[in-house]
Amino acid sequence: MVLKVFFPQCCNRADSGLLVGRWITGHDSAVVLAVIHYPFIPGQVKRYIQQMQAQSGVELSVLGSWSLPKEGQEGMESFLRDLSTIFPQERWLQISREIGKTGFICEIMSQNGKKVQQEAKNKSVEEEKDTGLGDGEKEDEEKVIFVHYEQRKVMLSQLHPTETGDHDPKSEPPSELRQMFQTVAQSKPLFFLDKYDDGPLKSTHWQSEGREASIIVELLKQATVPLCLLVTWLLSIWTWICNIKIFSFWPLHFLSSKLSTCVQLSYRTEHMRILSSPKPAVGHTQFMRKANILVSFLVDVALGILLMSWLYRDNHVSVLANTLVPVADHVAKELEELLQWLMGAPAGLKMNRALDQVLGRFFLYHIHLWISYIHLMSPFIEGILWYGGLSACLGLTFALSLLSDMVALLTFHIYCFYVYGARLYCLKIYGLSSLWRLFRGKKWNVLRQRVDSCSYDLDQLFIGTLLFTILLFLLPTTALYYLVFTLLRLVVVLFQGILHLSVDFINSFPLFALGLRICRPYRLAEGVKFSVLCEEPGTALHLLMEINPLKGSTVVQTYRTPTYSCYPRDSWAALIKKLFVGELIYPWRHKTTKTD
Amino acid sequence: MEDEAFTDISGKPITLDCQNHSSFCREFTVSSPKVSIGKVMVYTCAVWLFAYAVFFFTQITAVLSGAILITLVGMMFHIHFVKVDHESLLVIGSLGIQVSSSYASGREITTFIEMSKIKDIIINEAIYMHQIIYYLCVLLKDPSEPNAVSSVVPLFQSSKPRLNCLVKVYKSCQEILSKSQ
């Protein structure tokens, strides 16, 4: 069996002393966390380790001894070997390093049959002294791998996929690397002991370079408490307003579920509730979720304020309002021309003249109504835009949602045309399909949900066939109107869809996680990678363990905030089928289709 | 340390480099041949001649600058995402197996599989285009069922060495695996 020793890089040049760390049970590996220097009082070391164990919850123990002989420190070897009797352990590692050599020499002693082992050891040591070589025969029996790791990075990194909640004791224990990462991360209290402290114990391990900025961090932490309370209070008022009876009545409730501004408002409320919860985030996933929401909220507000500063500078609002009415007029004029074209012989097609004229006049009247509505509205448009622009201070997403709603209201006539066309078309398609069945002497059995054969009277067949013919010959005219207005509708839906997607992108994009991935790649670890360090003959194998950062796409996938776009959408085939049959399409999803 | 010449499935020469770091730690590196200058010239010339032909008939200069851009971006894309310079397999007894492939631009993709997850290393057969090839792969254990295989990680995916090379790697891998289990 090969023994693995995880050794921190910062202890490479530490003075001789004791190795403090943890044996990983069941994996035959040891994690070295710190080196406690000589001289020390064994009782104090034991008390210190117990204290640290209580604080960190890691089964800390003295793993063995570490010696890096310097001038005038001869005879340390035997002393360090005697230490194994003071700190009784099942196995005792004795790691030594010689000046001028990069490799370590490791010897292992076991508790059972200690004397025999020790004698053998002594002999081998004597042999070593004679021959001057570092490895005895012991090396071949039990091999050692030294895995060097950077303590700080391993302590701060989070191995993916993250574990959810408490570990189930029934399932098999976490893997060796995960245990090693957990051990280093949990033994943070061990690293608080400063190199320059005047304590009874001195140790080498990773220690933070300085905590100058920590005062600001602490002040910020203190400041967030009243802020959170304030936000919670505001939220409670807001939810109270939302829960008033009036809002749950049918028209208002229906409207608010369809207006994207209201949907965005409910999302933002939910996010603020998560952010302002007084409980600190438990676990990595929750912390990342909170941080992502906070960063995307801040970015959103910053973008919104940028938009506002552009909007209210140089009177851009009135310029926008002045261009909006002519644009609406222009659209209406183009639509009128389109209808005129359709009422003639569009693309050389010969339509049913009477139906064509009726439909065309109907739509023309609608456009006329719409234009007068817009002109009635025109004095107020600037005011609406001015006040609507204020919503940008809540964030760019609000401004975009408001824009989407305004587009929906301003293109209401297109929606109306589409609905009329679609309904007419749908009616014809259904009529044709049922009459086609009659034509073949069959009918739809509602009770059994299937097509049965049926014997019709001659009159029925005559009328049915007549109607079928009429419908069939009128179909192209309706289909043409339907096609044109569906295309118009699709343009509007596409525009709204783009707005919704961008809002959703700002809401759900994990900016914090991505920033962490770019600036501190070791924080989000996908795994580890090993590289072989230079090996000298006669020493154990030395590996360097580096952290393999998570891929960018995985970061986005793992940490994106769930919003409505995360749910599966209608497939393209379903959309095309809907368009073909004449069912209505919406930029938002129906509640009923979501459950399907 | 030894270098041996083998061929991949399409007959191109590749080199296998075995490094014995220790009795339980070995590294195998399969290096593919470098991009030949002739090939680069042929592709570049083809794109540029085509662009020049289009320019000759249409007199649009944007086509020429577009062709230059396309060749540059194409080359960068090729060396950064497509061309694998060498693939290596590091087997460390009782610790795990590390698979890494480094691209011609220096980008390296590394995955480490822990020994507790590994079931075995085998040579498998697969249908590739119109031929049957052999490949080396790592079988991963299913955490719920100890005897089932949850997934397969193919090794040397881009260089695709022939069977004689795979057998050599397989034998020395098995030597280490059998020792550590």
Distances from the Cα of A342 to the Cαs of A208, A367, A491, in angstroms? 77, 15, 19
- From A548's Cα to the closest Cα of chain B, the distance in A is 7
What is the spatial distance between Cα A577 and Cα A388, in angstroms, rounded to a whole number?
Answer: 38
Query: What was the pLDDT predicted at A271?
Result: 87
- The number of residues making up chain B comes to 181
What is the spatial distance between Cα A343 and Cα B160, in angstroms, rounded to a whole number?
Answer: 67
Most A CBs within 10 A among B19, B23, B25, B100, hence the mutation to make, goes to B25
Q: Is 0.90 surpassed by the pTM of this model?
A: no
Confidence of residue B21 (pLDDT cuts 50, 70, 90): confident
**Contacts for A345 with CB less than 8 Å, ≥ 6 apart:** A351
Q: CB–CB of B112 and A528 under 8 A?
A: yes
What is the spatial distance between Cα A185 and Cα A155, in angstroms, rounded to a whole number?
Answer: 4
Chain A residues in contact with B23 (beta carbon < 8 A): 143
Q: CB–CB of A143 and B95 under 8 A?
A: no
Nearest to A177 among B23, B98, B114 (CB): B114
Q: CB–CB of A532 and B114 under 8 A?
A: no
- From B165's Cα to the closest Cα of chain A, the distance in A is 23
Query: What was the pLDDT predicted at A595?
Result: 33
Nearest CA in chain B to A146: B95
CB A485 within 8 A of CB A418: yes
Query: pLDDT tens across A321-360, in order?
Result: 888 878 878 888 888 888 888 887 777 777 788 888 888 8
What is the spatial distance between Cα A286 and Cα A461, in angstroms, rounded to a whole number?
Answer: 69
What is the spatial distance between Cα A266 and Cα A479, in angstroms, rounded to a whole number?
Answer: 40
Query: What was the pLDDT predicted at A136?
Result: 37
Q: What mean pLDDT value characterizes chain B?
A: 89
What is the SS3 assignment for A240?
helix
**Contacts for A476 with CB less than 8 Å, ≥ 6 apart:** A349, A351, A352
ipTM: 0.84
Residues of chain A with pLDDT below 70 are: 1, 71-78, 80-81, 111-142, 163-173, 209-213, 247-248, 535-538, 564-570, 586-596
- The number of residues making up chain A comes to 596
CATH code linked to domain A2-144+194-209: 3.40.140
What is the share, in percent, of chain B residues with pLDDT greater than 90? 57
What is the spatial distance between Cα A28 and Cα B97, in angstroms, rounded to a whole number?
Answer: 17
Question: Is residue B117 within 8 angstroms of chain A, CB to CB?
Answer: yes
**Contacts for A181 with CB less than 8 Å, ≥ 6 apart:** A154, A157, A159, A525
**Contacts for A55 with CB less than 8 Å, ≥ 6 apart:** A189
DSSP conformation letters of B90-140: EEETTTEEEEEEEETTS-EEEEEEEGGGEEEEEEEEEEETTEEEEEEEEEE
Q: Residues B141-168: what's their mean pLDDT? A: 88
Q: Residues B148-171: what's their mean pLDDT? A: 91
Strand partners, B97: B91, B113
**Which class for A560: exposed (0-12), middle (13-18), buried (19 or more C-beta within 10 A)?**
buried
The answer to whether residue B99 scores a pLDDT higher than 60 is: yes
Chain A residues in contact with B25 (beta carbon < 8 A): 145, 532, 541, 543
Confidence of residue B78 (pLDDT cuts 50, 70, 90): very high
Query: pLDDT tens across A1-58, in order?
Result: 678 888 888 888 888 888 888 888 777 888 888 888 877 888 888 888 888 888 888 8
Six token digits for residue A150: 């950077």
CB A489 within 8 A of CB A418: yes
- Higher pLDDT, residue B16 or A211: B16
What is the spatial distance between Cα A579 and Cα A486, in angstroms, rounded to a whole number?
Answer: 8
What is the spatial distance between Cα A200 and Cα B161, in angstroms, rounded to a whole number?
Answer: 61
Q: Residue A102 corresponds to which amino acid?
A: T
Chain A residues in contact with B117 (beta carbon < 8 A): 175
- From B106's Cα to the closest Cα of chain A, the distance in A is 16
Which of A368, A372, A369, A366 lies closest to A417, judged by CA?
A366
Q: CB–CB of B95 and A4 under 8 A?
A: yes
Query: What was the pLDDT predicted at A210?
Result: 65
What is the spatial distance between Cα A515 and Cα A221, in angstroms, rounded to a whole number?
Answer: 21
**Which class for A65: exposed (0-12), middle (13-18), buried (19 or more C-beta within 10 A)?**
buried
Query: DSSP letter at B161?
Result: B
Query: What was the pLDDT predicted at A127?
Result: 36
Question: Is residue B27 within 8 angstroms of chain A, CB to CB?
Answer: yes
Query: What was the pLDDT predicted at A403?
Result: 87
Query: What was the pLDDT predicted at A239?
Result: 85
Q: CB–CB of A541 and B180 under 8 A?
A: no
Task: Give the number of other CB atoms < 10 A from CB of residue B173.
Answer: 21
CB A588 within 8 A of CB A405: no
The answer to whether residue B82 scores a pLDDT higher than 50 is: yes
Query: What was the pLDDT predicted at A591?
Result: 41
Characterise B165 by phi-psi region: left (phi > 0), alpha (psi -120 to 50), beta (else): alpha
Query: What was the pLDDT predicted at A77?
Result: 66
Q: CB–CB of A143 and B22 under 8 A?
A: yes
Query: What was the pLDDT predicted at A135?
Result: 38
Query: What was the pLDDT predicted at A267?
Result: 84
What is the spatial distance between Cα A484 and Cα A433, in angstroms, rounded to a whole number?
Answer: 23
* Tokens 């993709």 belong to residue: B109
Q: CB–CB of A4 and B90 under 8 A?
A: no
Chain A residues in contact with B100 (beta carbon < 8 A): 529
In chain A, where are the structural domains located? 2-144+194-209, 280-509+560-596
* Tokens 């069996």 belong to residue: A1
Check whether the bond before A174 is cis (ω within 30° of 0): no
Q: CB–CB of B95 and A171 under 8 A?
A: no
In chain B, where are the structural domains located? 2-35+83-180, 37-81
- From B127's Cα to the closest Cα of chain A, the distance in A is 30
